[in-house]
Amino acid sequence: MGQGQCSCGAVRFEFDEPVSGIYMCHCSLCRRSTGTNGIAVMIVANERFRWVRGEDAIAAWTKPGTQWETFFCRTCGSRVPGHNDPARMFVPAGLLEESGDTLKVIHHIFVGSKAPWDVIGDDGAQHAERIGG
């Protein structure tokens, strides 16, 4: 259960599914897209996710020659939820208005390509690539 928005508030969303935890992707695409060590996302089923406002304010960029996409607010540039999978939304964890104190990283993916300066300091399971991949 949660709600969130981009930095400027143009894009707002909510979902009514309990989130099991955060997935942290350390791949080079996510690092370059965010300018940090990757991106922390929650996975929410499409049918449990709703746009409250601003869906028309969302832009997408697809890396040429791939199916990798990133979604962002046209006004402020904040990464926003996206659907790189037909059944699920990937919701950036930093957009939540309240995350509570029980939400934590449960999986680190693409650890095999993480930046050398990126030190993982929690007990989330580490996977060299994607889970199951």
pLDDT at 133: 42
pLDDT at 100: 63
Give burial (CB, 10 Å; 0-12/13-18/19+) of 15: buried
What residue ranges do the domains of the chain occupy? 2-126
pLDDT at 76: 97
Asked if 35 and 77 count as a contact pair (C-beta separation under 8 A), the reply is: no
Average pLDDT over residues 41-56: 95
Residue 132's pLDDT band (boundaries 50, 70, 90)?
Answer: low
Looking at 1.10.8.60, 1.10.10.10, 3.30.70.20, 2.170.150.70, the CATH number of the domain 2-126 comes to: 2.170.150.70
Task: Using a cut of 0.75, tell me whether the model's pTM lies above it.
Answer: yes
